[in-house]
């Protein structure tokens, strides 16, 4: 299975409330995307706007059986209608196709928080070196953070590195609530995880992220 990570950003002049309403209206259109096996939509929470606009207002995940089906689907009229329904330019959506590596798979709360952190590799590493280090060394470090319920690395598939993808991956982490997320930042495990980022990430310690609440648009089939 491969998954498009599809970030959405509202157009200039559109309020958060209006954009969320448009996202709600367009949610039913996602099921029409051909070949879709599962889909979720995560909306950036209100605290994410406290200091200005976040990097994204929402993040979709659209899952398909294989790369050919996924690429055909993203270019389909049905996918374009989803983007157009909430004012996005279908040709400018920074989607990136990924494979999942599950590093921690504990129980999650339906009303819990899901954090998306968007990453690019250090220029000193090849794509293969970056993926291996992230998965085999850094991932197990992060998985030890006690408040972390679930942790999935989404690695951009190799074919999408030409042309250069919007992102080379996303770290997706689940927490019970904001208090648990904040508490995790005071742990030794979190400090070790952050310190390790310099070994393989570009712009370590300045990674764009959004804290979201997620709902299922299309149940897995």
* pLDDT of res. 92: 79
Residue-wise pLDDT tens digits, 160-173? 555 678 899 999 99
pLDDT in tens, 48-93: 998 889 999 999 999 999 999 999 999 999 999 999 888 877 777 8
Element (H, E) at 181: helix 178-184
Q: In this structure, which topology does domain 2-218 adopt according to CATH? A: Alpha-Beta Plaits (3.30.70)
pLDDT category of residue 13 using cuts at 50, 70 and 90:
confident
The per-residue b/e assignment along 77-110, b for 16 or more CB within 10 angstroms, e otherwise, is ebbbebbebbbbeeeebebbbbbebebbeeeeee
Confidence tier at 12 by pLDDT (50, 70, 90): confident
Nearest CA to 184 among 135, 112, 121, 134? 112
Q: Do residues 94 and 170 lie in contact, with contact meaning Cβ atoms separated by under 8 Å?
A: no
Q: How many residues does the chain have?
A: 221
Query: pTM for the whole thing?
Result: 0.94
Neighbours of 202 (CB within 10 A): 17
Cα dist from 206 to 81, 119, 197, whole Å: 34, 10, 10
* Beta carbons within 10 angstroms of residue 171's beta carbon: 21
Strand partners, 3: 63, 98
Measuring CA to CA, which residue among 175, 103, 169 is closest to residue 139? 103
Residue 151 has pLDDT above 80, yes or no: yes
User: DSSP label at 111?
Assistant: T
The two structure tokens encoding residue 130: 């970056």
Contacts of 189 (CB under 8 A, 6+ apart): 141, 142, 144, 145, 146
């Amino acid at each position: 299975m491969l998954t498009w990570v599809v970030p959405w950003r509202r157009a200039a002049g559109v309020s958060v409330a209006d954009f969320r309403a448009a996202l709600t209206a367009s949610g039913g259109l996602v099921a029409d995307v051909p070949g879709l096996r599962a889909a979720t939509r995560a909306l950036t929470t209100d605290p994410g706007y406290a200091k200005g606009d976040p990097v994204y207002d929402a993040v979709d995940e659209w899952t398909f059986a294989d790369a050919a089906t996924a690429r055909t689907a993203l270019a389909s009229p049905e996918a374009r209608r989803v983007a157009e329904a909430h004012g996005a330019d279908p040709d400018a959506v920074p989607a990136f196709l990924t494979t999942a590596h599950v590093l921690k798979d504990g129980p999650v709360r339906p009303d819990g928080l899901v954090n998306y952190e968007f990453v690019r590799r250090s220029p000193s590493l090849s794509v293969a070196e970056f993926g291996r280090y992230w998965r085999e060394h850094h991932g197990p470090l992060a998985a030890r953070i006690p408040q972390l319920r679930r942790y999935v690395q989404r690695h951009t598939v190799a074919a999408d590195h030409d042309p250069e993808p919007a992102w080379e991956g996303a770290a997706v982490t689940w927490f019970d609530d904001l208090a648990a997320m904040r508490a995790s930042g005071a742990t030794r495990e979190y400090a070790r995880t952050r310190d390790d980022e310099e070994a393989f990430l570009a712009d370590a310690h300045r990674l764009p992220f959004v804290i979201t609440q997620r709902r299922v648009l299309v149940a897995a089939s």
